[in-house]
Amino acid sequence: MKKTLGVLFLAAVTVGSARGQAPASVAGYTFRDIYSEIPGLGTVRESVDLLVDRTFVTRFVLLTGVLVPTVSAYLPPMSGSYSYTTISASQATLTLNSIGHGPQAIALNFTNASQGTTFRSYMGGPFSITLTGGIVSGRALLNMSIMVSAKQGEPVAFGFVIGGMQDREILLRAVGPSLAQFGIANFAPNPGYVIPGLTDNSGVSYPLPGESQPNGSGAKTVNWSDSVASAETINSESARAGAFPLVQGSNDKADVFLIGPGAHTITVNPTDPTGEGVVLIEVYEVE
């Protein structure tokens, strides 16, 4: 299984449409896709930066429902070099040479200049590429946030809308303990949140690592830095989005995911006293 997970980002991608327009270069682009690594057992959501120096860095890889359908987890970031060659107006070949693994050729067929549907030897799914270049664009709105006083039995809902046709990479944070660095003393020591009906662009729902998950003896709360992979992912994506750093080892919650267009609601509703107090809910679109 370890070897399989190590090449999640590297399997073949195929999209079909004569109307597509393959870009002459993918240097400075971010590639995002959703696919099933093992048919019927797990779904992978990933974001990969293709840098101008012909190296690549995985921003995040989130496995959902692998073997245990209700559990999701991040994988450690990977890196290496890549090559890219156009074949026709709608087709190109991308080869990723991951450090520690052999080269993997990726066939790309574009439905348009920025998206399509991936296909691997075992399964496929939607993909998109966005010209990011690793810099912040001139967008006017980068972040939405609300500070609430969370109490048991008094749920607070915070809504946001994803426009367009593509999945967007979203950083969500429920901050309690890390508010102490700003002089806020009555923070929730163990904040939490729920996003009802969260789905990707293909309509597939999935749990988030920061939500309560069964562990065989009841529910546990997964904090933002409970694993090396999640800490690396959340730290790097928070920095990229311009968010203030969270305190390592704190009970703050944070997740990165690809979310489909439409209206979405975050609900803060403590189930025990540790979730009560001031909670800062933040939503970032991460380029």
Q: Using H for helix, E for strand and C for coil, what is the string for 170-212?
A: EEEEEECHHHHHHCCCCECCCCCCECCCCECCCCCECCCCCCE
Quick one: pLDDT band at residue 74, thresholds 50, 70, 90?
confident
**Each residue of 3-32: pLDDT tens digit?**
333 333 333 333 333 457 889 999 999 988
* 105, pLDDT greater than 50: yes
Indicate if 158 and 232 belong to the same structural domain: yes
Indicate if 105 and 178 belong to the same structural domain: no
Indicate if 126 and 147 belong to the same structural domain: no
Domain assignment of residue 136, yes or no: no
**Helix-strand-coil percent breakdown of the chain, rounded to 5?**
10, 45, 45
| CA distances (Å), origin 227, targets 46, 73, 75, 194, 280 | 18, 9, 9, 21, 23
Indicate if 152 and 275 belong to the same structural domain: yes
- Can you give the CATH number for the domain in which 209 is found? 2.60.120
* Cα angle for residues 204, 58, 63 (degrees, 5° grid): 35
Domain assignment of residue 198, yes or no: yes
Domain assignment of residue 55, yes or no: yes
Indicate if 191 and 148 belong to the same structural domain: yes
- Among the candidates 131, 152, 174, a domain finishes at 131
Indicate if 123 and 151 belong to the same structural domain: no
| CA distances (Å), origin 77, targets 15, 81, 179 | 25, 14, 28
Domain assignment of residue 96, yes or no: yes
Specify whether the CB–CB gap between 9 and 20 falls below 8 A: no
* Rounded Cα–Cα distance for residues 155 and 16 (Å): 45
Domain assignment of residue 17, yes or no: yes
Indicate if 121 and 168 belong to the same structural domain: no
Domain assignment of residue 65, yes or no: yes
Indicate if 39 and 97 belong to the same structural domain: yes
Q: Is the pTM of this model over 0.75?
A: yes
Indicate if 205 and 74 belong to the same structural domain: no
| CA atoms 281, 206, 202, 239: torsion sign | positive
Indicate if 120 and 215 belong to the same structural domain: no
Domain assignment of residue 215, yes or no: yes
- Can you give the CATH number for the domain in which 86 is found? 2.40.128.300
Q: What is the pLDDT of residue 15?
A: 36
Average per-residue pLDDT for the chain: 78
- Among the candidates 101, 131, 161, a domain finishes at 131
Indicate if 155 and 35 belong to the same structural domain: no
Q: Which domain holds residue 251?
A: 143-285
* Cα angle for residues 142, 213, 173 (degrees, 5° grid): 15
* Percent of the chain residues past pLDDT 90, beyond the cut: 26
| CA distances (Å), origin 66, targets 31, 71, 214, 235 | 22, 7, 14, 24
Domain total for the chain? 2
**Each residue of 205-258: pLDDT tens digit?**
665 665 544 333 333 457 889 888 889 999 999 998 889 999 999 999 998 888
**Each residue of 106-136: pLDDT tens digit?**
777 899 988 877 776 666 678 889 888 644 4
* Rounded Cα–Cα distance for residues 59 and 239 (Å): 12
- Among the candidates 73, 104, 131, a domain finishes at 131
Domain assignment of residue 265, yes or no: yes
Indicate if 239 and 170 belong to the same structural domain: yes
